[in-house]
Structure 1
Amino acid sequence: MGGKTQFFIITTILLAAIATGFLPIIINYHRHHHHPPPPLDLPSNAAQFLRSNGFTFLANLIHISPNLFLSTPESTIFAIPDSAISNLSIPPYMTIELITYHISPNKFTLQDLFQKPLNTCFSTLFQQQKISITKKDEKNRLLEINNVLITIPDMFVDQSVAIHGVSGPFASFKRFPEINELPICTMINQSQVTKVDFIKIKAEWKMVVKFLSLNGFTPFAFWLYNVLDGIVKDHPDLHSMTIFAPPVIEVMEVPAPMVPKFMRAHVVPKKYSFKHLVSMSRGASIATLCPGREIEITGTVVSVSDELLSINRVEVTSPDLLSSRSFVVHGIARAFAMDGDARLST
């Protein structure tokens, strides 16, 4: 099935779902807040600007279901390109969740956003989740929200509404059936930062454990879960990581006291995508979470048809198995050896 055909089918299903089932829930929710309906010409004008700038999907949606976007006295809409929406293999209700994550119940023009400090957070219509200003360059008129560039600033500005085109979605669904990669906003109180970061890190680890257990890496996932609290406690500032997961672990070869070191030897405190790893020279070493323990690039083959990589003489069989902005998981043929240079001594 071609991409355009698939996009058309998904759009039709989504609009039907909104019109018949999901939208009344949203409308009923917002009725309790007694907000007046948007001006009759506002949805049409906004839809016209969206359509003329290539955002046909959102133009149709705002025309059919204006209360989804304009349910508050003011709003800022970050418009996702048609191409990004058509590439999402998610059910209609999750598309609605994603769209509401791109709507703020406050009006912000580009100049308004530039006047806010970096890392400023503001709320969205999705489950009280917040988005943040992650980069701004006022001289060159560049601004990013959740690390996503605003490509068409002030596409449409009304007394109560501002619409900006963005290069892609603020969140992703990579190999996991829920919105993820929602950044935690910076708090003023440092103790709050520590608490929020701890919760975020642990939640991400648990997501990795669940994913691995459902995708053929059950033994590794089980051991990772058992050492999780120790890793999070010892590395509270761990904001990026690379995990090398073997499908089978010979339990008898790893004494119980060695399990924490064994598992940490398969985790690198920095995110390395497969593309990044194959670009490294043979013999390059990378530190792991196990003190004094490094892994080594022992072989790379990059050709038109093949892109192979071995680490500690173990082949990476499932590169980029799970990936987000903060971590990546690579499947490997077997666990890293514990003898010779790779000895994990107590």
Structure 2
Amino acid sequence: MATEPSCSHWWHCPIYFVISLTLAVISISSSFRPNTNKAIAPNRFILNNTLSLNASLSLRRKGFSNIATLLNVYPELLLISPETTIFAVDDAIISSFSLYPTVLKQLLRYHASPSNLPMKDLLKMKKNSCLPTLLESKNVAVTKIDTGKGSIEINNVSISHPDLFLGDSISIHGILGAFYLPENEDRSFRRSPTCESNVSDSKPKINWERIVRLLGSNGFVSFAIGLHSVLPGIVRDYSGLSSVTVLVPTSFSFVAASPSLLDRIVRFHILPVRLTEKEMGLLPEKSSLFTLLRSHNMTVTENVETATVLALNEVEIIRGDVYLCDEFVIHEISRPFQLDEFLS
């Protein structure tokens, strides 16, 4: 009589799982496009060997072995931002997605935020605050917070292991479940009730023409003209966007630039997420934010001239929430962002 296999379910065998997970990671890594941003050195995005080992050991000790394996095999997978907070999901969830590399990539990036947020900083946030994730244009929300007990829920999922690992540029927290992922509603992911960019059933469209009109009526005529002229490309490339932040300079002299250059400049002034002045003020310094210009992120910095913390790429936000609605927000900045690399 033939002997029954020792494992009735493949993910119960550690060796088989590691092999499967490694193959999944290799497949995921091949889907990443290289970052061609010359201003950011690749080493800023990669954990050194010691840090990677220490983080993996901390994860394994607390029962998050699969995330630890991913971090060892391909640390760049989550560390594509200068600073990162990882919300580590449990082994069972990672196991169920290891045969779906594309979905696994989305899962991991949706559970990471481009800023270093230890528990003490998370507890300073307000309920319903939205956190950007590494999954472009998708947010998660702080849905419950109890500073007395030191507990917090994100997308209705409790942080069970706060400060599981802390480093100079990374924080890792263990969570009890998984956040909602729009592309896979049938896999028990939880919807954020406050961040509208997470909602996939209605998929609201951004009224770009309304933004152009509001910019013109509020005195930003040059930027309004520039945005209107490049709208077809933005709408084509970002048809799924449900919220944006427009960072408009007081003076904008690039309207006469070539169409391709103008397109890049305008995209660099728009974030694919709605962040109010208050929400931006809660972001730690050096947090990284996506822009509509792919591979070119915005960094929360201190203004070198005024020592103002609420600045992006050292450009001060001089008037926040010029116009605010559910789908977009407009902030006035003191000057256009530095564009030397675009002009070279």
Q: TM-score, normalising length from structure 2?
A: 0.49
More relative contact order in 1 or in 2 (CA 8 Å, sep 6+)? 2
Q: TM-score, normalising length from structure 1?
A: 0.49
Higher Cα radius of gyration? 1
